[in-house]
Amino acid sequence: MNPRKLILYVAGQTPKSLAAIANLERICAEHLPGQYEVEVVDLRQNPKLAREHSIVAIPTLVRELPVPIRKLIGDLSDTHKVLVNLSISDGV
């Protein structure tokens, strides 16, 4: 199976960041169990990490793998939108 990786960029405990973390955990557990490696990056701890994926708005979810990279901005409360974005151009 191709490597798959999601990175969620958050900023400390802003309400949207917390909501995004909780929503992502839920979506992964309910719809994509075991399919993605998930990393949460707290830009308040290390703002430089925003450069790698040119993050501007927080929270932002980045599908790093498989390529092409996909970005999804917001608290991930729209499950359907998240699933569509993660599966589009999957190439699988």
CA distance linking residue 85 with residue 26, whole number of Å: 16
Question: Which of 13, 35, 79, 89: binder of another protein (CB under 8 A)?
Answer: 13
Q: Judged by CB, which is closer to another protein: 32, or 40? A: 40
Nearer to another protein, 51 or 80 (CB): 51
The position carrying tokens 């949207």 is: 16
**88 near another protein, judged by CB under 8 A:** no
For another protein, which residue of 6, 17, 27, 61 counts as binding (CB under 8 A)? 17
The continuous run of DSSP H or E covering 83 comes out as helix 79-87
- Per-residue binder mask for another protein (CB under 8 A), 38-77, x = binder: -----xx--xx-xx--xxxxxxx----------x-xxx-x
CB half-sphere exposure, 89, CA atoms < 13 A: 10
Residue of 57, 38, 42 whose CA lies nearest to 10: 42
